[in-house]
Amino acid sequence: MISLEVALKHLAWSNQKFLAQFADQPDEVFALRAADDEWPIGQLLTHLVGSSHWYRYCLTGIDWIDLTPLTDAKLVGEYRTLIAELDQHLIENASLDEESLTVVTGDESFTVQRSLILSQAVMHAAEHKGQIATIMKQHGHHIDLDELDVWAFIKETQSN
């Protein structure tokens, strides 16, 4: 069975490779949408990175920051560095004991297991990567998600 730690290491690896594909994209790519009322790719990428801040908040209580939406490739390198730091924090949390954590959001709060927060981080990123790849394909661009899957991660990291 794949461990949560391996899943999170895969997440960090795939986040870097995925974001790298946007470092040289023309500005128009960041404005592409699936439909008029849907978020553009740049907002989805910003959300992908920003949600890592949210998961860190859920795990530690450290406030998250609002990110500047990606409208061009200029911030991609900065966001890759930021998500690498946040992903490392998630990986470190995988080795901590399971516990119930209380998350306060405004006037409400909820209690959730550490492993659920970490699992959600993995699933959430995968969902949005698929969404972004679909929008790219819809507009004639291609991102090969098979190059980012767990098998590709294991093959690349075990051969190094």
* DSSP conformational letter for 59: H
What values do phi and psi take at 102, rounded to 5? -100, 125
* pTM value surpassing 0.75: yes
Domain with residue 147: its CATH number is 1.20.120.450
Residue of 86, 90, 84 whose CA lies nearest to 18:
84
| Residue found under tokens 């006037």 | 107
* Terminal-residue alpha carbon distance, the chain: 22
The Cα–Cα gap between 68 and 26 comes to 18
Domain that holds residue 41: 4-159
Q: What is the pLDDT of residue 99?
A: 96
What total number of domains does the chain contain? 1
Q: In a structure prediction context, what are the per-residue pLDDT tens digits for the chain, which is 160 residues long?
A: 889 999 999 999 999 999 999 999 999 999 999 999 999 999 999 999 999 999 999 999 998 888 999 999 999 999 999 999 999 999 999 999 999 999 998 899 999 999 999 999 999 999 999 999 999 999 999 999 999 999 999 999 986 6
Query: What per-residue confidence (pLDDT) applies to 160?
Result: 60
- Give the Cα separation of 89 and 108 in Å (integer): 25
Instruction: Report the C-alpha gap between 91 and 62 in whole angstroms.
Output: 17
How many CB atoms sit inside 10 A of residue 55's CB?
A: 22
With contact defined as beta carbons under 8 Å apart, do 8 and 94 qualify?
yes
